[in-house]
Amino acid sequence: MGVDLRNKVACITGASRGIGRSISLALAEAGAHVVLISRNLNKLKDVESEIVSSGGKALVVQADLAEEKEIVSAFNEIKSRIKKLDILIGNAGIGKAGKLIDFSIEDFDKIMAVNLRGAYICCQEAMRIMIPQRSGYIISISSVVGFRGYANQSAYSASKHGQMGFIKALAAEAQEYGIRVSAILPGVVDTEFGKAIRPDLDKSVLIPPDDIARTVLYLLSLSEQAMVDQVYVRRMASSPF
């Protein structure tokens, strides 16, 4: 029961590496025309080459999601070059470990600018394309820290709780247009970021990024009669429920 995404356009933010790269490769393999967004043009082009050499379709759009103007122009490029958007994977994100008492407000602002403000503006722009289409699917890559608090992750956790707040409201607003909104909340994933935020964990217990890509494919595989609001993907070695 593979997912057929031929004729679908999927935009993935933070596509240059880690979870976003895995999701981009998986959606392209399922037939989607993928739009790859992040700041690092060379890394985006590497992902594009991988997709194109396997027969897939990709468009690279360089943008810093901390900048409103760059987000708006990225989505304008999608509108002018591809003319539609079926799927947005809101994945780009940053974080930094540190005790609340020592955390620099400059770092706090940087995290909020990408994870909360940038993610919010991406959803606004996607909705502006999806509402006239009366269809679309927005999947937000949140985190376990979007519903739990972990020591040394206060700013990151606040950004992901905030992201979950607007995603829940958006899900309620989007439904009348036939637009679906879900969140995936992973535990620690084996990426540069995952290893940096939890240096205490051995690589062998981290979730492979391809498992998050498979979770995206699972959500996209459901019929129009079924809806999964959120999926919590925890490390096997962590505590259940």
Give 135 or 191: the residue with its C-beta nearer to ligand NAP: 191
Query: Please, which residues have CB within 8 angstroms of residue 170's CB and are 6 or more apart in sequence?
Result: 123, 127, 138, 181
Q: Nearest distance from residue 100's CB to ligand NAP, in Å?
A: 18
Residue with Cβ nearer ligand NAP (62 or 135): 62
CB of residue 102 vs ligand NAP: minimum separation in angstroms?
Answer: 21
Number of other CB atoms surrounding residue 98 within 10 Å:
15
Host H or E run for residue 169? helix 154-174
Q: What residues make contact with ligand NAP under the rule CB under 6 A? A: 14-20, 38-40, 43, 64-66, 91-95, 114, 141, 143, 186, 188-189, 191-194
Q: Which residue among the candidates 120, 137, 150, 156 is catalytic per the annotation?
A: 156
Least distance (Å) between residue 1 CB and ligand NAP: 26
Q: How far apart are CA 21 and CA 11, in angstroms?
A: 12
- Is residue 156 annotated as a catalytic residue, yes or no? yes
Q: What is d(CA 100, CA 85) in angstroms, rounded to the nearest whole number? A: 39
User: Which class for 72: exposed (0-12), middle (13-18), buried (19 or more C-beta within 10 A)?
Assistant: middle
In terms of CB distance, is 8 or 21 closer to ligand NAP? 21
Residue numbers annotated as active site: 156
